[in-house]
Amino acid sequence: MNARTYAAVAVVLMLSATGCSAVGKLAATAPSTTSAPSAPDPADVVAPVPPPSQAGFAYVDPGEVCIRFTAALYSADTRRDTGPGDAYSRAIRYARGTLAGQSSAARQDGRWATWVEHRAYVDAVVEPFVDALLPADTAISARRTVRVTATPLGEDGWRGRTEHSLVDCTLRRGGSDGSGWRVAGYEIRQAGLR
């Protein structure tokens, strides 16, 4: 078999394996009894929102972006905030537009009523956490982990439980969100209560 014949046979075999014929007609198939997948409900699709920026912040260090995002995420203060979603509104200054569009989920926190009763704020300490398993940075993506120790404190001397967490930030840069690093996703891992 010469090279030209071998190539023609290979094409015919490839086409027949995918359900096509070499003469351009579709191979006969049994009628489908399944319905086509439905489109997602428009309410379930979050449209990207242009993210706000923090004045004077350069977004050049992915670690600093993750720290600032996390500190803002844990910055609840019932003395100045109208609800738990205000902290998320501050955090999205360090996030990509896709996270900015998800702020409605952050408006619900079962602890808020208790915090309001005590006029509480969250005292949070955020520090870098070295995770040897994180992948190496690329030109457009990075991962960072920070450790958070957060305690709600009331003006009346009330003290809530201290929460110890690790926050894993996935960061991206470039595209419609600008040239700097922004948090594209995050995961909070509870490390314990005290």
The CATH number of the domain holding residue 82 is 3.10.450.230
Give the closest residue to 160 by CA, choosing from 103, 106, 109, 86. 109
Q: How confident is the model at residue 104 (pLDDT cuts 50, 70, 90)?
A: low
The CA R_g of the chain, rounded to the nearest whole Å, is: 26
Which domain covers residue 155, as residue numbers? 59-193
**Is residue 49 in a domain?**
no
22-33: pLDDT as tens digits: 333 333 334 434
Q: What's the average model confidence in pLDDT over 54-75?
A: 93
pLDDT at 106: 67
Confidence tier at 105 by pLDDT (50, 70, 90): low
Q: Is 81 domain-assigned? A: yes
**82, 88, 90, 93: CA torsion to nearest 10:** -150
pTM over 0.85? The answer is no
Instruction: Give the contacts of 33 (CB within 8 A, at least 6 positions apart).
Output: none
| Domain-located, residue 178 | yes
Question: Is 50 exceeded by the pLDDT of residue 89?
Answer: yes
Q: How much is the pLDDT for 46?
A: 53
- Per the model's pLDDT, the better-predicted residue between 95 and 175 turns out to be 95
| Residue predicted with more confidence, 182 or 10 | 182
Residue (of 63, 65, 184) closest to 130 by Cα position: 63
185 domain-assigned: yes
pLDDT, residue 14, reads 36
How many structural domains is the chain composed of? 1
Residue 3, in any domain of the structure: no
In a domain, 111, yes or no: yes
Q: Is residue 22 part of a domain?
A: no
| 107 occurs within a structural domain | yes
- Predicted pLDDT at 18: 35
Q: Could you read off the pLDDT of 133-189 as tens digits, one per residue? A: 888 999 999 999 999 999 999 999 999 999 999 999 999 998 888 889 999 999 999
pLDDT at 50: 66
